[in-house]
């Protein structure tokens, strides 16, 4: 009897700890299930890019993938449900891929698209070459949006170009490689061309930084350590847009690389002698190879309404502070629209109105929806659903809301209704494009 009491006293603390662990685990699982159901009810089920798919037969529920995600704990992308890793916040996943590497049993694979919605991805080989001889693709256009990945691909694409040049046509050409885009991939490719002593021409239709340069002022850019040719490693864990752009400007100044901004790529054809004839808004250039390091957003989609050509209309928000004290109208229901509206409201705009063509904000990430909700509650922002802009005037905007016509006083219009994807451009060049439905 005394022995039983001793055993009970000895194991009681262990049993108590075990019970507390199980209780905490079950509570956490209920929270994860509630978050998953909330995402499904809101229609937030489609990941924007590369994302994990978990094999439940292999998953051992160790949570390694959850804690490996660079977004954790700020954003709970993965969680455990029924002791298995589950993607509970699909729209918040931006394709870091750390979860796949962290899984000790190989239960995770990274894929593009889902069974319900496909994603157009150009076919590229291991060296980032395409089916068109001499044409390479790196960065966001290939489906990889992270700065770290884009830098790596730009660097590797130059290695592919160097190998290609050994067998390419020796006919006269102005440059060895023509690089389109000066974002992370294009910048890395340009530095790689410099290191390899290749003749190059790099163009960017906007400014240095590409898509990053068009982010709102003060926006945080999540990055991981990356290796730039010539420069070496740069180590940012979390940095604002201005800091990153300033770093790239410093790189351009220190290395002397030449980037032609304000120049747009129009197309490319192969001349009879095997040299690529690259056409831009500033002329035609003969090149032995071409790297497309452009974004996936393409050309901004227009509303095609009277007055859209006015100076008050823009398709991206750069500096919210410029609109302090002004009456701002933001059109769109995606993340860029919600972020622009919130930034203007917090920068002191006189009024901010978000115009949504549908009846909800289901396309946007939950955190952006919540941000809008808080500002609406504080009466710093208003949202008009089932609304359509019919004309833009100097001081007013004509609008229909639920079929009823109205007019709003207005100083600034920001249109964030997506872009025309560059798929037609790729097809005109002859690059194979495949639609992926949940495949790698």
Distance set, CA 71 to CA 29, 78, 95, 221, 249 (Å) = 19, 10, 10, 12, 27
Q: Which of 111, 134, 167 is the last residue of a domain?
A: 111
Radius of gyration of the chain (CA): 25
- In a shared domain, residues 283 and 429: yes
- In a shared domain, residues 166 and 89: no
- In a shared domain, residues 79 and 214: no
CATH number of 33's domain: 3.30.70.20
- In a shared domain, residues 146 and 289: yes
Task: Report d(CA 231, CA 247) in Å as an integer.
Answer: 11
Whether the model clears a pTM of 0.85, i.e. scores above it, the answer is no
Q: Which of 82, 111, 140 is the last residue of a domain?
A: 111
CB 233 within 8 A of CB 148: no
Determine how β-strand 276-280 pairs with β-strand 387-392: unpaired
- In a shared domain, residues 140 and 245: yes
* Residues spanned by the domain of 258: 120-298+422-436
Distance set, CA 5 to CA 9, 142, 323, 369 (Å) = 6, 67, 75, 57
Q: Which of 94, 111, 128 is the last residue of a domain?
A: 111
- In a shared domain, residues 234 and 310: no
- In a shared domain, residues 90 and 130: no
Question: Structurally, how many domains does the chain consist of?
Answer: 3
166-174 LR contacts (CB < 8 Å, sep 24+): 168/134, 168/274, 168/288, 168/289, 169/273, 169/274, 169/275, 169/288, 171/271, 171/273, 171/274, 171/275, 172/275, 172/286, 173/275, 173/286, 173/287, 173/288, 174/199, 174/201, 174/285, 174/286, 174/287
CATH number of 208's domain: 3.50.50.60
What would the pLDDT profile of 312-328 be if each residue is shown by its tens digit?
999 888 789 899 999 99
CB 209 within 8 A of CB 201: no
Indicate whether 296 pLDDT > 80. no
- Identify any residues that bridge with 313 across adjacent strands, giving them in sequence order: 413
- In a shared domain, residues 345 and 316: yes
Indicate whether 198 pLDDT > 60. yes
- In a shared domain, residues 237 and 138: yes
What would the pLDDT profile of 221-266 be if each residue is shown by its tens digit?
655 667 788 877 776 666 777 888 888 898 899 999 999 998 999 9
- In a shared domain, residues 244 and 132: yes
Residue 346: phi, psi to the nearest 5? Answer: -80, -15
- In a shared domain, residues 278 and 311: no
- In a shared domain, residues 154 and 292: yes
């Amino acid at each position: 009897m005394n022995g039983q009491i001793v055993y009970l006293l000895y194991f009681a603390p262990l049993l108590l700890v075990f019970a507390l662990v199980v209780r905490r685990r079950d509570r956490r699982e209920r929270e994860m299930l509630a978050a998953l159901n909330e995402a499904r009810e809101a229609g937030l089920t489609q990941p924007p890019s590369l994302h994990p798919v978990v094999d439940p037969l292999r998953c051992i529920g160790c949570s390694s993938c959850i804690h490996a995600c660079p977004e954790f704990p700020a954003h709970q992308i993965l969680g455990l449900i029924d002791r298995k890793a589950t993607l509970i916040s699909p729209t918040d996943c931006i394709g870091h891929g750390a979860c796949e590497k962290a899984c000790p049993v190989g239960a995770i694979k990274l894929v593009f698209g889902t069974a319900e919605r496909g994603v157009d991805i150009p076919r590229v080989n291991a060296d980032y070459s395409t089916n068109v001889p001499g044409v390479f693709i790196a960065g966001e256009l290939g489906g990889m949006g992270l700065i770290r990945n884009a830098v790596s691909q730009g660097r590797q694409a130059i290695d592919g170009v160097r190998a290609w040049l050994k067998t390419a046509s020796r006919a006269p050409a102005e440059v060895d490689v023509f690089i389109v885009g000066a974002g992370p991939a294009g910048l890395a490719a340009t530095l790689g061309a410099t290191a390899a002593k290749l003749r190059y021409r790099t163009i960017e239709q906007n400014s240095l930084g590409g898509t990053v340069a068009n982010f709102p002022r003060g926006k945080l850019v999540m990055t991981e350590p990356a290796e730039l040719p010539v420069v070496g490693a740069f180590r940012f864990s979390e940095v604002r847009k201005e800091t990153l752009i300033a770093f790239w400007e410093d790189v351009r100044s220190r290395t002397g690389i030449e980037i032609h901004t304000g120049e747009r790529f129009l197309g490319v054809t192969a001349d009879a002698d095997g040299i690529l004839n690259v056409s831009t808004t500033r002329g035609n250039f003969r090149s032995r190879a071409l790297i497309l390091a452009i974004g996936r957003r393409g050309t901004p989609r227009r509303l095609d309404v009277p007055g859209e050509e006015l100076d008050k209309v823009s398709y991206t928000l750069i500096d919210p502070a410029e609109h302090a004290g002004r009456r701002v109208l933001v059109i769109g229901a995606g993340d860029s629209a919600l972020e622009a509206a919130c930034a203007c409201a917090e920068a002191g705009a006189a009024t901010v109105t978000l115009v949504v063509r549908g009846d909800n904000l289901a396309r946007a990430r939950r955190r952006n929806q919540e941000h809008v909700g808080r500002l609406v509650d504080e009466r710093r922002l208003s949202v008009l659903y089932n609304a359509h802009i019919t004309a833009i005037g100097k001081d007013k905007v004509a609008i229909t809301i639920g079929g009823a016509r109205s007019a709003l006083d207005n100083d600034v219009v920001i249109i964030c209704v997506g872009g025309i994807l560059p798929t037609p451009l790729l097809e005109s060049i002859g690059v194979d494009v495949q639609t992926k439905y949940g495949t790698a």
